[in-house]
């Protein structure tokens, strides 16, 4: 017993720090799609052959390592999105629309840059000369093959503007900008997977949860201490307490995956790196359902939905999967690590594609709340404790620790 005392004290000390410490606010990269704010300061053009940041493109400090070519028709190809912004001119010399295809992050950045270009030079538009490459025109590890890189100019092709164009690209939030040639500027972004470092895993504020009384409540109105419906490992619905919010930001913009089902008809929105329980193809029981990133769900798969009339969980076939932008991100943590959102069973966790290990990692928080429930002061606090805004510091800490051991790429492979 004496040998266990230091460990027990250590756990209690750690648990006491978890909720006593204030939640961190939104760090660098948060805010609307992580763009830098354009101030009134004088912008200086990039010099020819200068790149920002001053590190190689495929390093963690810039756009990160290449993840391999994205081939037309492959599963990763579905993650590329077309850009039909009328304020951008796409050269598209192949006449295939390939230059319009890019990752969500790249699309957000280039749309922001298009606005900056028109503000800087009225009557001039941004021009994209090279985007996603499916024809092998670049070096083998080029990010063009993944829809993460663009070559850009201005519509008037005035080369005297390209140094300032590169600076505007930096301000628009591209992860690496290179004044590569007298004929164009090269820009690139991190993989959308790594975006989970900033956006984590969340649901929109208008999503609803089911209280143990059967009442529906919006996530924006949910409070610490409320009891909602979640599920045990075997799939049985149980009441579970909301311990805290891993992230809560009313003004944060995010890109959500929209999963629509039939029989019962449900529509769940959650961020791409959030875990949802799904099965490939038709499934009759709950055993075949595994936690996967929302971005991996495809039409024809099945998710677990709450049946009508107070029935338990039942498989629901996915009809459509799409992307949808929204404002407000909410990530409640329950004692069971699961909850029903818009009638679909989802995990409370994200980034690491293992619900079991993520649930174990948050054991100190559950331990702390278990100890608090034994104190008389707990009854005085009651339900409805207002959550603090921002991402919880423990979530960031766990991700950094895991990233240091496994590597950030491994967390979101």
Question: What does the pLDDT read at residue 406?
Answer: 46
pTM value?
0.58
Of 67, 97, 95, give the one whose Cα is nearest residue 82. Answer: 97
Question: What does the pLDDT read at residue 15?
Answer: 45
Q: What is the DSSP letter of 33?
A: G
- Three-class SS state of 249: strand
Distance between CA atoms of residues 39 and 116, nearest Å: 12
Question: What does the pLDDT read at residue 78?
Answer: 81
Question: What does the pLDDT read at residue 282?
Answer: 67
Q: Extract the tokens encoding 149.
A: 């890189």
11-16: which pairs have CB atoms within 8 A and are 24 or more residues apart?
Answer: 11/364, 11/367, 12/371, 14/364, 15/364, 15/365, 15/367, 15/368, 15/371, 16/368
Q: What is the DSSP letter of 71?
A: P
Question: What does the pLDDT read at residue 283?
Answer: 66
Task: Tell how far CA 351 is from the center of its chain.
Answer: 8
Residue 379 contacts by C-beta under 8 Å, 6 or more apart in sequence?
none
Question: What does the pLDDT read at residue 86?
Answer: 95
pLDDT (tens place) for every residue of the chain, 413 residues total: 444 444 344 444 544 444 433 333 323 333 333 444 444 568 999 999 999 999 999 987 899 889 889 999 887 888 889 999 999 999 987 788 899 999 988 999 999 999 999 999 999 999 999 999 998 889 999 999 999 999 999 999 999 999 999 999 999 999 999 999 999 999 999 987 654 444 456 899 899 999 999 899 999 999 988 999 999 988 889 999 998 888 888 877 778 899 999 888 999 999 888 999 999 876 666 667 999 999 889 999 999 999 766 678 999 999 999 888 788 889 999 999 999 999 999 999 987 788 998 888 888 878 877 787 777 654 444 445 555 665 656 655 665 555 554 444 444 44
Task: Tell how far CA 48 is from the center of its chain.
Answer: 35
Distance between CA atoms of residues 186 and 176, nearest Å: 8
């Amino acid at each position: 017993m004496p040998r266990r005392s230091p460990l027990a004290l250590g756990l209690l000390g750690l648990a006491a720090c978890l909720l006593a410490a204030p939640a961190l606010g939104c760090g660098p990269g948060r805010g609307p799609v992580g763009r830098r704010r354009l101030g009134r300061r004088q912008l200086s053009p990039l010099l020819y052959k200068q790149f920002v940041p001053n590190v190689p493109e495929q390093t963690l400090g810039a756009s990160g390592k290449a993840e391999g070519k994205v081939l037309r028709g492959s599963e990763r190809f579905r993650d590329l999105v077309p850009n039909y912004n009328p304020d951008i001119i796409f050269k598209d010399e192949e006449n295939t629309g390939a230059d319009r295809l890019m990752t969500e992050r790249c699309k957000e950045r280039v749309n922001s840059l298009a606005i900056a270009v028109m503000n800087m030079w009225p009557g001039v538009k941004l021009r994209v000369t090279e985007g996603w490459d499916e024809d092998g025109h670049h070096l083998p590890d080029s990010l063009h093959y993944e829809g993460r890189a663009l070559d850009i100019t201005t519509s008037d092709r005035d080369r005297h503007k390209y140094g300032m164009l590169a600076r505007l690209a930096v301000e628009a939030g591209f992860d690496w900008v290179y004044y590569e040639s007298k004929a164009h500027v090269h820009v690139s972004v991190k993989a959308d997977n790594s975006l989970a470092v900033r956006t984590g895993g969340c649901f929109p504020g208008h999503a609803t949860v089911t209280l143990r009384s059967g009442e529906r409540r919006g996530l924006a109105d949910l409070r610490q201490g409320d009891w909602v419906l979640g599920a045990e490992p075997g799939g049985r619905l149980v009441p579970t307490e909301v311990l805290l919010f891993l992230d809560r930001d009313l003004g944060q913009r995010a890109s959500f995956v929209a999963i629509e089902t039939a029989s019962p008809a449900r529509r769940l929105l959650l961020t791409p790196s959030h875990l949802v329980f799904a099965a490939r193809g038709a499934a009759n029981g709950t055993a075949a359902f595994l936690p996967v990133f929302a971005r991996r769900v495809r039409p024809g798969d099945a998710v677990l939905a709450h049946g009508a009339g107070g029935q338990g969980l039942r498989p629901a076939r996915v009809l459509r999967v799409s992307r949808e932008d929204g404002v407000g991100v909410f990530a409640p943590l329950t004692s069971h690590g699961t909850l029903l959102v818009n009638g679909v069973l989802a995990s409370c966790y994200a980034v690491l594609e293992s619900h079991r290990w993520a649930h174990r990692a948050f054991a100190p928080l559950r331990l702390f709340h278990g100890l608090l429930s034994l104190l008389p002061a707990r009854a005085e606090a009651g339900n409805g404790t207002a959550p603090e805004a921002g991402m919880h510091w423990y979530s960031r800490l766990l991700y950094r620790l895991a990233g240091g051991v496994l590597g950030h790429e491994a967390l979101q492979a």
